[in-house]
Amino acid sequence: MKIITTTKARQNISKIIDRVKYRGETFAIGRRNSIDALITPVQKKYNTNFDEITNINIFSSSFDFLKDEPDIYSISDGKKIKHV
């Protein structure tokens, strides 16, 4: 992910969009050493049962690191209700 300033983003928005669309790159845009926005490729697939951020995570490589992790929780664990 490349981090750029808002000024540089304004000056190069067309080139940035092309790099995101055709190369699959992601850009972080910010000012004063903070990231304020991301420009990421749009998903090719979209599940209307979920909101935007969930779709982004489902169809991106956000959770690829988990493929080598052991299953810690089962579906039944998620359905358990903890009484406080």
Contacts of 23 (CB under 8 A, 6+ apart): none
pLDDT in tens, 20-71: 989 989 899 998 888 999 898 876 777 778 787 777 777 666 666 667 766 7
CB atoms closer than 10 angstroms to residue 51: 9
Q: Looking at per-residue confidence, does 79 or 5 come out higher?
A: 5
What pLDDT is attached to residue 84?
47
Domain ranges of the chain: 2-63
- In this prediction the pTM is 0.55
Whether 1 shows a pLDDT value over 70: the answer reads yes
According to CATH, the superfamily of the domain at 2-63 is YefM-like domain (3.40.1620.10)
